[in-house]
Copies of this chain bind each other. A is one copy, B any other.
Amino acid sequence: MASTVEGADTALLPEFPRGPSMPTEQERPSGTWRVHLLLQISLPHLLRFQKTIFSALEKDPLFARSPGADLSLEKYRELNFLRCKRIFEYDFLSVEDMFKSPLKVPALIQCLGMYDSSLAAKYLLHSLVFGSAVYSSDGSEVLLECAQRTFSCFPSFCALTFRFLDVFALTELSHAVNTKAIRTTAHYDPATEEFIIHSPDFEAAKFWVGNMGKTATHAVVFAKLCVPGDQCHGLHPFIVQIRDPKTLLPMPGVMVGDIGKKLGQNGLDNGFAMFHKVRVPRQSLLNRMGDVTPEGTYVSPFKDVRQRFGVSLGSLSSGRVSIVSLAILNLKLAVAIALRFSATRRQFGPTEEEEIPVLEYPMQQWRLLPYLAAVYALDHFSKSLFLDLVELQRGLASGDRSARQAELGREIHALASASKPLASWTTQQGIQECREACGGHGYLAMNRLGVLRDDNDPNCTYEGDNNILLQQTSNYLLGLLAHQVQDGACFRSPLKSVDFLDAYPGILDQKFEVSSVADCLDSAVALAAYKWLVCYLLRETYQKLNQEKRSGSSDFEARNNCQVSHGRPLALAFVELTVVQRFHEHVHQPCVPPSLRAVLGRLSALYALWSLSRHTALLYRGGYFSGEQAGEVLESAVLALCSQLKDDAVALVDVIAPPDFVLDSPIGRADGELYKNLWGAVLQESKVLERASWWPEFSVNKPVIGSLKSKL
């Protein structure tokens, strides 16, 4: 049922803001701001783009959902492969389009990921990660020129697709995060002008490589480059053929296989590869970081190995930005399912006769609504960070070597390294809360919360373990402070995320002075507290680090001893502040209509205060909070905002949820017919009313109790 729309492009809306899940009309919020909101958060061209994708999938039988299917691993991989291929046939996003409307990239990824994470992962790994690695490593300015060094002819980037399927092979069985310890070697042989790619033993097998398990024909293999009579020159990328594209059988000297079932994303085939003295031509080296002359002399535009290494991995930070988007789409789905369920599930009530929706309970609101607010705040942040990244990449592509460009790279690296943990953890915890908040029905596989949890989980790990990544961000901030202390430099960054630190002595003198809940219901309150918190943690971390060093710890030890209680919360508080700041500014733009600003303001305040409340202990410890009231006000404000938002919850969910076909959760359908949908789906499962094939094991072969006792 389409909602009433005023002053909006109604052609866009028949499917998006669908019927209310709330059962009665009086419980529904008004439709006006809902449409405003929709247009605000998803620009019309993105909305149209997403609608095109969802419609195409829904019409195509290859994407039909199969209720109750108990897919084998092999079957699922085949299906995902065929679907990925089909996505290329649809060619939703051309390279030109991508450059013109960069936000279509995360929009496409979100659409595919909402349908199935494995599909998004397979597509993303192939078309973006490989592309960007080849691109950045080669240093050429046109997207695929680089690959022309090894392959003869590529009319376009997409033509590469499925002619050869390429993967990005960095991690090994015994090393992942410590890439410097990667042990695969590439020795140059001037006699034949070839590199010899070799895995010294199985611990150096490339491992966890996406798409490698069953389908990849070529791999970008990271190996230590060695030339004769010289030391090794660190990690470099080489294009190595691993399978024959005609037969998909392994190339001689290559042992390639599938690492097996994972907790989730099983549509994607992750694999391993070992190389036994595999020879590849000199031109297989992607030579942005360094090259080898035909005679075997190593040449590099970079002076030292560390700098070269930094450049070779710097390009990976775009992966972290993508993961923020991948995580949030999972949270969108989970929150949509749990809030629609909560608006229709009734349990207990003020009298024995009357039952109320579970969303009416403060407990259920408190469990779920902060995650709804998190979706809005993080989704906005994710888009804005993606646009920052586009700016960075365009600068790189245009040869910008300015100091600002370098600073921008560092700032984005710091933000991406902390927002990836923040988004993936918030989502993982949010999905778990949604699962539990839906009770037993949340534990039924068909309702999809389990798949979401399993599929989101690796977001906490790949492209860098969350806890380790946070160290990148705290190091960035500590570096700025050291620069300020030693050289009197100002805190300035291109995106201005650190500029407030200039005022840190004054900020540290501030106190929390809000005494009523009513005064606390704005994200500005949380912003002030967050600024104090980041200053406090930065000072404490800096002092602790220096104290550790003074007491004789090496730099390695000192950093390790500071990370748990100082660096980690510092990095998280900093990125939370940035997320809150950006969403706060977004909400308070003059162009946002007042009715929309009211509801977005509540979301902004709820996310900000709820996140902040996890740091209450530190706020007290450092003296920003004192007395009983401060903590009480904060806690009460969170509950008050939940209560204010609960009647808008379903409408807010309808804006972010994909169509029912994509959401694919009987308890989360937009029509709110919870039990009809669930019961219908149960009856569609395979063999639901049939007796088991093994029934005689019950009926005939009765056990003799204790008959095996003598064997014990």
Contact present for A363 and B691 (CB under 8 Å)? no
Chain B hits for A171, CB < 8 A: 440
Give min CB distance, A545 to chain B, whole Å: 14
Residues of B within 8 A of A703 (CB): 85-86, 88-89, 161-162
In the complex with contacts A245-B699, A263-B443, A691-B248, A682-B272 CB distance below 8 A: yes
Distance (whole angstroms) from the CB of A652 to the closest CB of chain B: 21
Q: Are A708 and B89 in contact (CB under 8 A)?
A: yes
Known A443-B457, A620-B621, A703-B162; contact A635-B261, beta-carbon cutoff 8 A: no
- Whether A708 lies near B436 (C-beta < 8 A) is no
Instruction: Say yes or no for A257: interface residue by CB 8 A criterion.
Output: yes
Is A159 in the interface zone, CB < 8 Å from B? yes
Cβ of B362 and Cβ of A560 under 8 Å apart? Answer: yes
Q: Which positions 678-712 of chain A face chain B at CB distance < 8 Å?
A: 678-679, 682-683, 685, 687-689, 691-695, 697-699, 701-709, 711-712
Which residues between 609 and 647 of chain A lie within 8 Å of chain B, taking CB atoms? 613, 616-618, 620-623, 625, 628, 630-632, 635-636, 639
Is the beta-carbon distance between B692 and A248 smaller than 8 angstroms? yes
A99 located at the interface, meaning its Cβ lies under 8 Å from any Cβ of chain B in the complex? no
Stretch at the interface among A21-29, A292-300, A561-569: A561-569
Which chain A residues numbered 377 to 392 have a C-beta less than 8 Å away from chain B?
Answer: none
Q: Find the B residue at minimum CB distance from A216.
A: B698
Q: How many whole Å from A122's CB to the nearest CB in chain B?
A: 12
The interface on chain A, measured as residues whose beta carbon lies within 8 A of the other chain's beta carbons, has a size of 152
**Does A352 interact with chain B (Cβ within 8 Å)?**
yes
- Tell me whether B443 and A82 are in contact (CB under 8 A): no
Residues of B within 8 A of A52 (CB): 712
Contact residues in B for A208 (Cβ distance below 8 Å): 440
Could you tell me if B81 and A698 are in contact, using CB atoms closer than 8 angstroms? yes
Q: Are B616 and A623 in contact (CB under 8 A)?
A: no
Instruction: Assess whether A15 is interfacial by the CB under 8 Å rule.
Output: no
Given A432-B428, A694-B81, A705-B91: A177 and B439 within 8 A (CB)? Answer: yes
A72 near B: Cβ within 8 Å?
yes
Q: Which of A101-109, A186-194, A460-468 contacts B (4 or more CB under 8 A)?
A: A460-468
A435 at the interface (CB under 8 A from B): yes
* Residue on B nearest A567 in the bound complex, by CB: B363
Chain B residues within 8 Å of A94, by CB: 706
Distance in Å from the Cβ of A154 to the closest Cβ of chain B? 12
Which residues of chain B are near A513, meaning CB under 8 Å? Answer: none
A564 to B86, CA, bound (A): 48
Query: In the complex, which residues of chain B have a beta carbon less than 8 angstroms from the beta carbon of A556?
Result: 349-350
A693 CB contacts on chain B under 8 angstroms: 74, 78
Q: Give the interface segment out of A312-320, A444-452, A503-511, A600-608.
A: A444-452
User: Which B residue sits closest to A706, measured CB to CB?
Assistant: B91
A554 CB-CB contact with B under 8 Å: yes
- Determine if A158 and B445 form an interchain contact, defined as CB atoms under 8 angstroms apart: no
The CA of A355 and the CA of B179, in the complex, are separated in Å by: 12
Cβ-neighbour of A617 out of B55, B161, B616 (below 8 A):
B616
Known: A205-B679, A689-B255, A708-B89. A699 touches B436 (CB 8 A): no
Task: Judge whether B436 and A465 touch: CB under 8 Å.
Answer: yes
List B contacts of A617 (CB < 8 A).
Answer: 613, 616-617, 620, 631
Contact check, A564 vs B362: say whether CB atoms are below 8 A apart: yes
For window 237-269 of A, CB contacts with B under 8 Å fall at: 243, 245-250, 255-264, 269
> Is A260 in contact with B561, judged by CB distance below 8 angstroms?
no
Contacts of A616 in B (CB 8 A): 617, 620-621
Chain B hits for A352, CB < 8 A? 180
Residues of chain B with a CB closer than 8 A to A77's CB: 692
Q: Which of B435, B565, B709 contacts A635 (CB 8 A)?
A: B565
Known contacts being A347-B178, A675-B173, is A446 close to B260, with CB within 8 Å? yes
Complex interface: chain B residues within 8 A of A709 (CB): 89-91
25 CB < 8 A contacts A-B: A78-B694, A78-B697, A81-B697, A88-B703, A89-B706, A91-B705, A92-B712, A159-B705, A161-B703, A161-B705, A165-B698, A181-B355, A243-B691, A245-B699, A260-B685, A261-B446, A262-B444, A262-B445, A263-B444, A263-B449, A362-B563, A565-B636, A616-B620, A617-B620, A618-B631
Which 7 pairs show the lowest CB-CB distances between chains A and B? A263-B450, A91-B706, A620-B620, A616-B617, A261-B445, A621-B631, A248-B695
